Structure 1
Amino acid sequence: MYKTIFEELCERFTSGDSADLSALLPEGIQDEVGHFNVFNLDEILPTQRERPTVSCASRAFYKISFLTGHSQADYPDRSIEISKPTLVFTTPKSPFYWSPAGQQTGMFCVFTAEFLHPAKSGVMIDELPIFKSPEHPIYALSDVDIARTQRIFDNMNEEINSNYAYKYDLLRAYTLELIHLGQKLQSTVMLHPNHSASARTTSLFLELLERQFPLESPQQKVMLRTASQFADHLAVHINHLNKVLKETTGLTTTELIAGRIVQEAKALLRHTDWSIAEIAESLGFSDFAHFSKFFKTETAIAPGAYRSQTKSLNYT
């Protein structure tokens, strides 16, 4: 069976063959507490069609993987299909096998607990939520997070090959940045560990929707208006998002978005002196007529009439 460089590294490290280990690890790393390395998948995976199953159950290393392409993560209790750019966190105790399929790209870093020793990083690695997750820490990434993750790994790759005397301090900082990104992605899981995956998705959607408001000036714009935009931002398929929200709230994605838009429109019509055209533009409508039709459909009254009614009530 074909073995990757990472598999060989794990075997040699756990077997205690220091000569082989020295050949695999970057020059000068022995001067640091612990060990760290970063790999590019397209440089270490074979090019033939049949790809190996890679065991990540090393006794020595923590691992953070940035995976693109199609693959499968196998745990004792279930298998997880990976089809979108994804971050995967594993520990020396993780019984995890990864099977790439087709063209696979991405990067990963491996490090020992000593590399993030409190004296060096200020953290206790086993106390970090990402490594105490009640679920398998596999997180699909949004476009923004993909760009951020790629930048971090590119920085790691550049730094580990540099001659900078303090490069391992920077590499610790980059590793911690990845860890904190993962913990942000898992924050809802940790805050609501007994909630179902559907409830967590609903919570993330509602938080994302609500964060766009209130609108404080006509220059402020609502950026996410459609179900597909929310699905892309949450890194889920639109059909899955629609199904989950219907099950948990009784309303469709579009109905929830429309309801919050109407709520904000009413507040702006009642409490500001913005023109209706300014309100329409801030709420993401292409023109006054489109907004007017939407508002009347949702409330059975035109926005101008609603403003007149509520203004008169304020004076009585």
Structure 2
Amino acid sequence: MPVDDEINFTILSVPDIHPEIPFKSPVLRAEYFSFILTKEGSGEYNLGDNTFPFGNRSIYFTNPGHIKSYELFSSKEAQIIMLTEKFLQENVHPQIYNEFPFLLAEIVPPNEQTETEFKELEMLFDQVGFEFKNNSKYKDKIIGNMILVLLMKIKEWFWANYNPLVEGEHNSRIVKSFKRTLESEFKKILGDKQGQVNLQAQYFAERLNLHPNYLNSVLKNKTGRTLSDWISQRTLSVSKSLLVDSSLSLKEISYLLGYSEPTHFSRFFKKNTKLSPRAFRAAHKSP
């Protein structure tokens, strides 16, 4: 169920939206964050090749871009908060991922809380639900402050048990998959020179079923280069090859590389080489 269109936020009772138990969801890709608090219930969350069982007094969250499914074996009392990145940035913290980097993590199992900890989270969810039903003109900010407290609690309790080795292995696979995807995109033009590459960050993130910010974070942490750096450097390498080893016009090369106008390509090329494409071709082309 999508979040509210107006404020990019909603909170729901899980038994209300899934009255028939057991329930097995289809595989889905959500474009919002989910925080699921289960007071009494059990089931499994499936994320890629990982299956995470959960039970009473547990909390679990997923971020945008996840390919996931879930199965409910029982669900007597549980709540789910769904909110967008936009809501978090506008009402919780403008640099949300700097303050709470765990929101970008891909593999985080459900966390079972002590009775005392769970009561604190339950009170927070209940208060968020109460404010969500109010018509206060400050509703978004009030809820945003409560979500801030929720994130602080998760950071304190949940994140302490995070296993970085699991994420490290997962991130290494992401880097390899990205490199393969990047190369496969350029093969479109390095072969028969008939295709046109898509060099948008969103495109690569969607191909890998990841959130763009998460993909960028993984690449930067693992390789020292951002997503934009990887795309730009490979584009520059391929453009040099096309200028030197082909007779394609600048307009044709610009098109193949996904530029709408040759002037855009020329600006990119000169910024990175200090030479215009024509000058570079003239300097390196064999007589």
- TM-score if structure 2 supplies the norm length? 0.51
Match of 2:52 among 80, 85, 103: 80
In 2: Cα distance, 1:138 partner to 1:180 partner = 17
Query: Aligned pair 1:160/2:135, yes or no?
Result: no
Structure 1 runs not aligned, ≥5 long: 1-5, 11-24, 197-316
Among 76, 92, 99, the alignment partner of 2:64 is 92
Matched, 1:140 2:112: yes
Deviation of the 1:52 alpha carbon = 3.0
* Alignment partner of 1:129 is 2:101: yes
1:202-281 equivalences in 2 (<5 Å): none
Q: Which residue of 2 aligns with 1:289?
A: none
1:40 aligns with 2:38: no
Q: Is the 8 A contact 1:129 1:183 kept in 2?
A: no
- Please say if 1:182 is aligned against 2:133: no
Which secondary structure does the structure 1 equivalent of 2:153 belong to? helix
- In the TM superposition, residue 134 of structure 1 has moved relative to its aligned partner by 6.5
SS in 2 for 1:186: helix
For the residue of structure 1 that corresponds to 2:24, the secondary structure is coil
Distance 2:60 2:97 in 1: 17
Query: Which runs of structure 2 are paired with 1:292-307 in the superposition (5 Å)?
Result: none
How far has the Cα of 1:188 moved from its partner?
Answer: 2.8
Could you give the per-residue CA deviations for residues 234-281 of structure 1, whole angstroms, max 9, x where no partner exists?
xxxxxxxxxxxxxxxxxxxxxxxxxxxxxxxxxxxxxxxxxxxxxxxx
Instruction: Please report how far the alpha carbon of residue 163 of structure 1 lies from its aligned counterpart in structure 2 after TM superposition.
Output: 2.0
Which amino acid in 1 is paired with 2:144? R
Question: What does residue 34 of structure 2 align with?
Answer: 63
Deviation track 1:287-306 (CA, whole Å, cap 9, x = no partner) reads xxxxxxxxxxxxxxxxxxxx
Aligned residues: 165
Tell me how far apart the structure 2 counterparts of residues 194 and 64 of structure 1 sit (CA, whole Å).
24
Aligned partners of 1:126 and 1:56: how far apart in 2? 24
Runs of 4+ in 1 over 4 A off after TM superposition: none
2:264 maps to what in 1?
Answer: none
Question: 1:115 corresponds to which letter in structure 2?
Answer: F
Q: 2:81 aligns with which of 109, 120, 124?
A: 109
SS where residue 108 of structure 2 aligns? Answer: coil
TM-score (normalizing by structure 1): 0.47
Change (3 A) 1:114 1:134: closer
Please, what is the CA RMSD of the aligned residues? 2.6
Residue 134 of structure 1 contacts residue 193 of structure 1 at CA under 8 Å; is this kept in 2? no
Q: What amino acid is the match of 2:67? A: P
Q: Deviations over 1:24-79 (max 9, x none)?
A: x3xxx73x5xx1111011221123x4423265621x21111112311111121221
- Which one scores higher on RCO, CA 8 angstroms, separation ≥ 6? 2
Structure 1's 116 and 130: CA in aligned 2 closer, same or farther, altered over 3 A? same
Output the amino acid matched with 1:42: P
Match of 1:296 in 2: none
1:98-152 deviation line (CA, Å, top 9, x unaligned): 11013442101111111122x5433423332321336414211110111011111
In the aligned structure 2, how far is the partner of 1:146 from the partner of 1:124? 28
Which protein shows a greater Rg?
Answer: 1
Q: Give distance in 2, aligned partners of 1:111 and 1:133.
A: 17
In 1: Cα distance, 2:166 partner to 2:61 partner: 21
Q: Distance in 2 between matches of 1:121 and 1:146?
A: 22
* Contact 1:75–1:95 under 8 Å retained in 2: yes
CA offsets per residue over residues 210-248 of structure 1, 9 Å max, x none? xxxxxxxxxxxxxxxxxxxxxxxxxxxxxxxxxxxxxxx
Task: Report sequence identity in percent.
Answer: 14
Give the 3 Å change call, closer, same or farther, for CA 46–195 of structure 1 in structure 2. Answer: closer
Question: Secondary structure in 1 aligned to 2:48?
Answer: coil
Distance in 1 between residues matched to 2:126 and 2:141, nearest whole Å:
16
Q: Is the 8 A contact 1:130 1:182 kept in 2?
A: no
Which amino acid in structure 1 is aligned with residue 14 of structure 2? L
Please list every run of 5 or more consecutive structure 2 residues that lacks an aligned counterpart in the other structure: 168-287
Q: d(CA) in 2 for partners of 1:138 and 1:184? A: 15
